[in-house]
Each structure stands twice: as C-alpha cells, then as structure tokens.
Amino acid sequence: MGVAGQDGLRIACLTTGERIRITRESRGMTRPVVAGLVGRSPDWLKKIESGVRPLNSLPLLIELARTLGVADLSELTGDDFDAPVSVWEKDVHHVVPAIRDAMREVSFGSTSDATVPTVVDADDLSARVRRLWLLWHRSSRQRSEVGAALPALIRQAHASMRATEGDARRRCRAATADLYRLVQRLLAHICEPELHALAVERGRALSEDADTPISLAQAAWASSVGLCASGHHEAAAQLADDAATELLRSCGDDLDPAAMGTVGALQLEAAAAHALAGHEGNAYRYLDAAAASAARMPSGTWHLPSAFDRTNVEILAVIVGVSLRRPTEAVRRANRIDLRRCPSVVRRSRLLLECATAHANRREFGDAVRSLGSATTVSAEAVALIPWARTLADELAERAPRPARAEAERLRSALRAVG
C-alpha cells in the first residue's frame, strides 16, 4: 500500500474525538476556548477527544461543529454520508430581517419606505437611543421589543447625520455609535456573523468620527465584548485595559458617572476575558479595580450599555468563578447578591443562569434546574438566545433527578420555543 493509501486508511480509522482534536488544533484553538464556547469544561472536552467519554449528544456535536467552523458533521464523525450543519440551523430571530434591511439601505442613503425618516437634532437622537437602552435592560422580551423599534431609528439616525454639520454632526455620530452598540448586543447569537460584525464596525467607525474620549472608550468596550465572545480572550483583555487607561488619562480627575462607568465596564470585560483564558490572578485583579471604580460612582447611578454598577461587579465575580471552574465559590458569591438592587433584567437572568451552570458543575442537578427555571422566569428570551444555555437545558433534561426531570423537560421545551 502506498503512503497516500496508508494516510487515507489512518484518517478513516480516526474516532470522532480524535477528529475533533485534530480539527481544533488545525484551527489554532485551545481546548479551554472551544470547551467554553460550547458551555463545557476543558476536562470534558479532553475526555471526548481522548475517547474516555463518548459523544452521544447530537446538539453538542452540532455546537462543536459550529464552533470549529465545520460545515458537515461527517468531517467529525467519519461517516460516509453528508450531514450538513446547516440542516440544523434555526431560522434567524424574527426581528433580524428588518434590521438587516435598514442597515443595508442606510449605507447608500436610500430607504424603501414611502416616507423619508424624520430628522432630529443630536440631543433628541441621543435621548431616543437612551430610551431603547433602558428598554433593553428593563424588558423581559428585550430582543423582540427593542428589535421592533430599531429599523426606524437606524434610518432616522443616518438621516439626521446627513442633515447636520460640524459639532452637531459629531454629536449625532456619537449617538448613532451608541445605537449600533445596542444593535450589536441585540444581534449576538441570532444572526449571521457578518451582520453582527457590521454593527460592531459601524459603532467603532462612528465613534472615531465623533472623536470624544468617552465614545472611543465605549467603542473599545463593545469591540472587546466581540473579541471575547469569539474566543480571542487575551486580545479582548488587552484592548479593554488599554481603553480604560487612555480614558483615565484623557479625563484626569474630571470623571463624571458616565466616564467612570465606562472605565468600570472595561475593567469588568478585562476580568471576564482573563477568567475565560484561565488567568486567575489577572481576573481577580481587574475585578478589584472594577469594584474600586464602582465605589467612586454616586449611589443609584449606572453605566447604561453594560449596566455597570456595584451589583454588576458582584455578578461578574460569579461569572469569573464559573469560568475558572470554581463553582463552589461562584454559588457562595451568588447567594450573597440581592437581585433587587440590579437594574437590568438581562443581568439578573444571566446571574441565575450562571448559578445553574455552577450547580451543574457540582453535579447538583436539581438545584441547577431550579436556578435555570428562575432565570427563565426573569427573562426566557435573554436565556434562550444564549447557545450554551440551551445546551445546559439539554443536559439537565437528561441528568436531572427524577423529581426535577419533568421541570427540566419543560424548560428545555420552553427555551427551544423562543425565537
């Protein structure tokens, strides 16, 4: 048998776990990054790759394929029939098409509507964007309600920028940059990557045009969030740190609550990125810095896009604990948080979701079901549209103790129905 034939036979004999490992390494992705993106531990992925644990879950196999950029499941299973990942792709969220159309139309200064968007001044535009950010944090159906309002406001923002000049145009650009950061948050996990990336890039470019320290810092925060979500943890942490340092340098001692909140949000993003990268010392160092920033903000104030305040620092500490595979510490921290002090429905549901993950990591599946149920009660939409939350629901439906199994099945069905 020739060398080519021997290589073909060797490849054909690879297990699914070995194929996952080879694909992951060929992509330059570390085991902790891939495991984290599918909501599992590095040890779990190591056992899959080494064959110690079988991969019997189709949803998990699909998530791994998506994370690794594999178009057909047969590349991982070795089967001799096609199984395109796209077969299992869910339709995009119902608000996405109208947002996509609006973003495309404004690129060319046109509109498909019979009426031209009303032009507003910078202060009015900023107020409208702020109201949508508040709705994002206060609504239990944040994507559906905010998403319905975004297309018209996107068109209005671009019309207002074109109709103004000088300082007024710069302030319109700053407001529109904040709008695109909201678009970025809303589109995460529910649209094609290219559309999400376009929202990130527009927010960054508009902030550069606005050319104010706070707008640039907020663009860096949004870009850091995007980098972290795509697995580029060290780059995300570095960008967040550089932006916080520059904002502090630019403002000196003249830090208003908005600037201080932006600094804190950047510090929290650096903490989250370091935790996902497994850098425990740096994660807690940035958490401490964020706590100090929160202490400098007047009571009752918060950074609107990130919901940064003292309670959010406590919530992020729970997320850090889960990311560092310290579930006992995460549960202990979570039990001390008074959720009534958190102004954001999105952050409250995320805390409870992290609690569910921590309990599952401790094999406390009944407690995990209860925490997931509480998170879903706060906002089913916020939970369901996080991919690894659905994976967790699948796991709990399979592993929950008998008294909690019916509830776990109900939650899995409820989360699958959101969209």
* Model pTM score: 0.79
- From 190, 211, 232, the end of a domain falls on 211
Residue type (1 letter), 370: R
Choose one of 73, 88, 103: the last residue of a domain: 88
Residue 276 lies in a domain: yes
- 53 found inside a domain: yes
Cα separations in angstroms, 16 against 13, 37, 43, 50, 394: 10, 19, 17, 10, 21
Same domain flag for 207 and 235: no
- Structural domain tally of the chain? 4
Going residue by residue through the chain, which has 419 residues, state the pLDDT in tens, using 9 for 90 and above: 343 444 443 455 788 999 999 999 998 888 888 887 776 778 889 999 998 888 877 777 888 888 888 888 889 988 877 878 776 655 568 899 999 999 988 876 655 555 568 899 999 999 999 999 999 999 999 999 999 999 999 999 999 999 999 999 999 999 999 999 999 999 988 887 778 889 999 999 999 999 999 999 999 999 999 888 878 899 999 999 999 999 999 988 778 999 999 999 999 999 999 999 999 999 999 999 999 999 999 988 999 999 999 999 999 999 999 999 999 999 999 999 999 999 999 999 999 999 999 999 999 999 999 999 999 999 999 999 887 898 899 999 999 999 999 999 999 999 988 86
- Supply the Cα-derived Rg of the chain in whole angstroms: 22
Domain match, 32 and 73 both = yes
Domain shared by 339 and 216, yes or no: yes
CB of 108 within 8 A of CB of 156?
Answer: no
Q: Are residues 218 and 331 in the same domain?
A: yes
List b or e across 373-408, with b for residues whose CB sees 16 or more CB atoms inside 10 angstroms. Answer: bbbbebbbbbbbbbbbbbbbbbbbbeebeeebbebb
**Do 168 and 227 belong together in one domain?**
no
Is 349 domain-assigned?
Answer: no
Q: What's the one-letter identity of residue 188?
A: A
Report which of 138, 106, 60, 155 is spatially closest to residue 395, judged by C-alpha positions: 60
CATH number at residue 41: 1.10.260.40
Range of the domain at 410: 354-419
Among the candidates 153, 181, 211, a domain finishes at 211
246 and 339 in a common domain: yes
Same domain, 189 and 282: no
